[in-house]
Amino acid sequence: MILCKNLTKIYRDGGSGSEYVALDDVSFSIEKGGFVAVVGPSGCGKSTLLHILGCLDRPTQGSYQLSGQEVSHLSEKDLAQVRGRKIGFVFQAFHLLPRSSALHNVALPMIYSNVLKSQRIQKAQILLQEVGLEGKMKNTPLQLSGGERQRVAIARALANDPEVLLADEPTGNLDSKTGQEILSLFQKLSQTGKTILLVTHDREIAKAAGGLIQMKDGKIV
Amino acid sequence: MGWGEIKAHKMRSFLSFFGITIGIASVLMTIAILQGFSKNMKEGMALSGPGRLEVTKKWTETKSRKGVSQGLTSQDALSLEKVMPELQVVIPKARSFRKNIIFKDIRAESNIVGVVPEAQTRDWVYDLRGRFFTAGDMQFFKRVCVLIKKGEPGQKNIWRKFWKRKDPFEQLYAKYDPLGQSIRIQDNLFTIIGIAQEPPEDEDPRFFHRSYGNEMVWVPLTTFQKYIQNSNKIDEIIVDTGDPETTAYYEDRLKRFFLLRHRGEEDFDIQNYSQLMSGWMKQVRNFRMVFLLIAIISLIAGGIGIMNVSLATVYSRIKEIGIRKAVGATRLDILVQFVLESTVLSVAGGLVGVALGIGGAFLLPSFSDRFEIVISPLSVLLCISISIGVGMIFSIYPAYQAAKLDPVEALRYE
């Protein structure tokens, strides 16, 4: 499903010309339906890895194949389409549109994959039911609790039936009980065949995942 | 989605479109005034006659005056009709100033104009009660006259409330119905055979040749010459060739004709109205260009307002842009979204501007009698398309700034 070979990301400071190696020759693969946690101290390159896997960024070197397609050197426009249709993001800070209702937040990705409006709403309603928010579809994120917001974010990530879910510290802003609930939601999704990569620094949460990638200083250790 | 953003920032949205509103309102008003002016002018021209030429006597003494010419006379007009029978009309007029008039107990002063029956065919805007002069009145020097009743001042004109023109004949009409009665002009009694009512001042279609303020009495030209002026001189001859294309040719011919009759003395002027008209029209066109320039400047100012606010909007929505990109929005999607939002604002501003412009244009005539306003659907359409264009053009740069944001950085932005 995910096949990375010698991924390297180097940030250059335009002014001083100094270089910073965020990812250093990273290779790994994740099978379809795999549930892998990426752990490591902050600054170890796990966010950079997540951004590259999520097509938000491109590697400086190396190859990244997503379900057999080489995506490391796609154009901006193609990258946007890949991340819209094949990838779902869940962020630590939820990243929901604050003035839009839960329903519209979930429907948002489908606007960009050209789904008809009636179908968008229908699909969003089903997804919100699946994450247990059938009563709060009209609420805006400000009217929801942290756990509920993250459920909305997960429903949004699932909107275009992506093959891969990428989660960046999804429980980082939640108390442990709610975090546990969100985590079990991920486990459930994993069982339905979604490939999940979860970035965390919490060893406990990492244990819930099937696989583990440990990183330090831009390398897998 | 864009609408929510507009509603969430009412003041900002209002400020961004206000510049457009002002620009569009002034564009629409100026077009309305110019179109009204052209319309007035064309109506006035139609009323004056298409191929109008006017031969007037020179009022000032010139150095070249040799005293061999007797000036414009009735004979000039008669001879002109014979030499150029193809002319549609030849209307001589003579004028005499500040004559004493007595009707019963009312005394007044008025200019007296000697006219021919054909005068009814040009610049005729009057509502006549009684009758006008006939060939018989001319032939027998009948002492008959037609009184001109001044038009009502414009109802719309607010200045009129403070300043009212004094009309010496107002009392006369208020007290008596003078039709058919006698009136004394200088030492002679005339019979009033007609009363010509001028239209209200704000509806008077004449563009040229509005009568002189104190011109209240017409008499047949022959009668005028015999009893009031005591000479066969005239002040002007109105000629119509029937076609604006031929006026230049006839202007030349008339000049030679009169020079010949006046023994080489140029004691007359010839006015070519279609030329005057095209001169005016050229002025209007020039004015239109100047106005266009001002409009463009004001719309650029409005557009910069839109651009400014759009840029501010982009910076306050960086995170939203990151989220949209993360869930699959392409650069084009973001670009289109921001351009559309600004265009909605700009069109809203434009529509308010159209409303203000129409309102303002209807208010303007209340400052003057002669102010016609024409608001054509085309000019409204033009204004709306301008506002669409301004909104789109000036939001492209901010929208491009939004579209090219790096998604990772945009998401991280706090």
Of B204, B234, B264, the position where a domain reaches its end is B234
| Other CB atoms within 10 Å distance of the CB of residue B42 | 14
Averaged over B38-56, what is the pLDDT? 85
Determine contact: A91 vs chain B, CB below 8 A: yes
B173 in the same domain as B134: yes
Q: Decide if pLDDT at A195 tops 60.
A: yes
In a domain, B61, yes or no: no
At residue B2, the pLDDT reads: 57
B306 in the same domain as B225: no
Q: Decide if pLDDT at B64 tops 80.
A: no
Number of domains in chain B: 2
Q: How confident is the model at residue B276 (pLDDT cuts 50, 70, 90)?
A: confident
B110 in the same domain as B221: yes
B214 in the same domain as B88: yes
Closest CA to B116 of B231, B240, B222: B222
Q: How confident is the model at residue B277 (pLDDT cuts 50, 70, 90)?
A: confident
- Summary mean pLDDT of chain A: 91
B145 in the same domain as B23: no
Using the Cα atoms of residue A127, residue A132, residue A134 and residue A137 in order, give the sign of their dihedral.
negative
In a domain, B361, yes or no: yes
Q: Decide if pLDDT at B209 tops 60.
A: no
Distance CA A30, CA B405 (A): 30
Q: Decide if pLDDT at A139 tops 90.
A: yes
**Contact residues, chain B, for A160 at CB < 8 Å:** 328
B25 in the same domain as B141: no
Q: Decide if pLDDT at B304 tops 70.
A: yes
B77 in the same domain as B38: no
At residue B93, the pLDDT reads: 94
Interface test with B, best of A56, A86, A94 (most B CBs within 10 A): A56
B320 in the same domain as B398: yes
Averaged over A199-211, what is the pLDDT? 85
Q: Decide if pLDDT at A26 tops 60.
A: yes
pTM (whole model) above 0.90: no
Averaged over A164-179, what is the pLDDT? 91
- Window 312-331 of B: residues touching A by CB (8 A cutoff) are 319-320, 322-331
DSSP A65-118: EETTEE-TT--HHHHHHHHHHTEEEE-TT----TTS-HHHHHHHHHHHTT--HH
Nearest CB among A51, A77, A84 relative to B327 is that of A84
Nearest CB among B4, B5, B328 relative to A80 is that of B328
Q: Decide if pLDDT at B211 tops 70.
A: no
At residue A201, the pLDDT reads: 83
Of B217, B234, B251, the position where a domain reaches its end is B234
Averaged over A174-189, what is the pLDDT? 90
Determine contact: A45 vs chain B, CB below 8 A: no
Is A160 in contact with B332 (Cβ distance < 8 A)?
no
HEC sequence for A121-188: HHHHHHHHHHCCCCCCCCCCHHHCCHHHHHHHHHHHHCCCCCCEEEEECCCCCCCHHHHHHHHHHHHH
- Summary mean pLDDT of chain B: 86
Instruction: Of A112-126, B222-236, B270-284, B305-319, give the lowest mean pLDDT range.
Output: B270-284
Determine contact: A42 vs chain B, CB below 8 A: no
Q: Decide if pLDDT at B66 tops 70.
A: no
Closest CA to B98 of B229, B271, B214, B239: B214
**Contact residues, chain B, for A96 at CB < 8 Å:** 323
In a domain, B364, yes or no: yes
Per the model's pLDDT, the better-predicted residue between B367 and A105 turns out to be A105
DSSP-derived letter for residue A120 is: H
In a domain, B51, yes or no: no
Q: Decide if pLDDT at A17 tops 80.
A: no
B102 in the same domain as B27: no
Highest mean pLDDT among A13-22, A115-124, A203-212: A115-124
Q: How confident is the model at residue B122 (pLDDT cuts 50, 70, 90)?
A: confident
Per the model's pLDDT, the better-predicted residue between B370 and B127 turns out to be B127
At residue B157, the pLDDT reads: 62
ipTM of model: 0.93
Using a pLDDT cut of 70, give the percent of chain A over it. 100
Determine contact: A101 vs chain B, CB below 8 A: no
Q: How confident is the model at residue B62 (pLDDT cuts 50, 70, 90)?
A: low
3-state secondary structure (DSSP) of residue A14: coil
Averaged over B306-327, what is the pLDDT? 91
Per-residue pLDDT tens over the stretch A80-135: 999 999 999 999 999 999 989 999 999 999 999 999 999 999 999 999 999 999 99
Q: Decide if pLDDT at B309 tops 90.
A: no
**Contact residues, chain B, for A89 at CB < 8 Å:** 326-327
Per-residue pLDDT tens over the stretch A28-76: 999 998 999 999 888 888 889 999 999 999 999 999 999 889 998 889 8
Identify the residue whose tokens are 């479109």: B17
B77 in the same domain as B32: no
Work out the minimum CA distance from B381 to partner chain A, whole angstroms. Answer: 32
In a domain, B258, yes or no: no
Chain B residue with minimum CA distance to A94? B323
Averaged over B357-379, what is the pLDDT? 79
> Which two structure tokens, joined as six digits, stand for B386?
């301008």
B93 in the same domain as B6: no
At residue B108, the pLDDT reads: 87
Per the model's pLDDT, the better-predicted residue between A150 and B209 turns out to be A150
In a domain, B250, yes or no: no
Instruction: Of A212-221, B228-237, B324-333, B365-374, give the lowest mean pLDDT range.
Output: B365-374
In a domain, B262, yes or no: no
Determine contact: A81 vs chain B, CB below 8 A: yes
Using a pLDDT cut of 90, give the percent of chain A over it. 67
Closest CA to B109 of B94, B96, B92: B96
Range of the structural domain that residue B229 is part of: 73-234
Nearest CB among B8, B323, B408 relative to A57 is that of B408
Is B325 in contact with A159 (Cβ distance < 8 A)?
no
Averaged over B89-115, what is the pLDDT? 91
At residue B207, the pLDDT reads: 67
Are B210 and B218 contacting, i.e. CB atoms less than 8 angstroms apart? Answer: no
**Contact residues, chain B, for A81 at CB < 8 Å:** 328, 330
At residue B213, the pLDDT reads: 61
Of B234, B250, B271, the position where a domain reaches its end is B234
In a domain, B271, yes or no: no
B283 in the same domain as B199: no
Identify the residue whose tokens are 């002027």: B269
Chain A residue with minimum CA distance to B8? A99
Determine contact: A207 vs chain B, CB below 8 A: no
At residue B70, the pLDDT reads: 83
